[in-house]
C-alpha cells in the first residue's frame, strides 16, 4: 500500500486512500509484518509510513493470528514461501477488521483466494473479511461525507 504512492499506476488511488485515512474515513491497522516489510523499503516509503503512524493503530502478534495463518497455509491457499501474505490476512481477520486493503493482486486481492480465505475464516470461527484494492474502496466525492 505505502509503496503505491510512488508508483505511477497506483499513485492516485493510494494517495487518495491515505488522505481519506487522515480525514477519518478509514481506520488504519498496521501489523509487525508490514513494519518488517517496510524496513527494507526506500526511504520515501518509510517516511510516508512514519508520517501516517499518528493515524494508525498497531496490531500485536497473537497466537490466534499465527494459528489462522497456519490454517491458510495448510489449506494450500498460499505456499509457505508467501507466509507473510497469509499473515497479513490473518492479522486483519483476528483483529476484526471489516476490510483489508492491498495492491497485492497475486496473493491477497485475488477473487479465488478471497473466497478461500473466507472459507477458512468461517471454519476457524471467524467472520468473513472484505478484501479490496484502494481503487475499489476510496470515496470519490468526500464533500458529501
For the chain, the structural domain boundaries read 2-137
Residues of the chain with pLDDT under 70: 141-145
Instruction: Give the residues across from 28 on adjacent strands.
Output: 56
With a pLDDT cut of 70, the percent of the chain lying above it is 97
Q: What is the pLDDT of residue 3?
A: 76
pLDDT digits (tens, 9 = 90+) for 47-63: 988 999 899 999 888 99
Residue 60: all three cell numbers together? 500485536
Check if the beta carbon of residue 6 is closer than 8 Å to that of residue 42: yes
Domain made up of 2-137: CATH architecture: 3-Layer(aba) Sandwich (3.40)
Instruction: Please choose, from the candidates 40, 38, 39, 83, the residue with its C-alpha nearest in 3D space to the C-alpha of residue 65.
Output: 83
Instruction: Show Cβ contacts of residue 107 under 8 Å, excluding neighbours closer than 6 positions.
Output: 78, 82, 85, 86, 113
Length of the chain measured in residues: 145
* Helix, strand, coil % in the chain, rounded to nearest 5: 60, 10, 30
Check if the beta carbon of residue 94 is closer than 8 Å to that of residue 62: yes
SS3 29: strand
Check if the beta carbon of residue 105 is closer than 8 Å to that of residue 130: no
Mean predicted lDDT score pLDDT of the chain: 90
Distance CA 14, CA 45 (A): 12
Predicted TM-score (pTM) of this structure: 0.89
Residue 17: all three cell numbers together? 486512500
Amino acid at each position: 500500500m505505502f509503496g503505491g504512492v510512488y508508483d505511477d499506476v497506483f499513485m492516485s488511488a493510494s494517495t487518495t486512500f491515505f488522505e481519506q485515512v487522515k480525514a477519518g474515513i478509514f481506520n488504519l491497522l498496521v501489523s509487525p509484518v508490514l513494519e518488517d516489510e517496510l524496513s527494507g523499503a526506500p526511504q520515501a516509503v518509510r517516511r510516508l509510513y512514519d508520517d501516517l503512524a499518528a493515524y494508525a493503530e498497531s496490531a500485536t502478534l497473537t497466537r490466534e493470528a499465527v494459528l489462522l495463518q497456519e490454517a491458510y497455509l495448510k489449506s494450500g491457499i498460499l505456499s509457505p514461501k508467501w507466509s507473510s501474505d497469509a499473515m497479513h490476512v490473518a492479522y486483519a481477520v483476528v483483529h476484526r477488521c471489516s476490510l483489508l486493503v492491498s495492491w497485492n493482486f497475486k496473493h491477497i486481492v485475488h477473487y479465488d483466494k478471497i473466497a478461500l480465505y473466507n472459507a477458512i475464516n468461517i471454519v476457524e470461527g471467524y467472520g468473513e473479511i472484505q478484501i479490496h484494492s484502494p481503487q475499489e474502496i476510496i470515496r470519490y466525492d468526500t464533500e458529501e461525507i
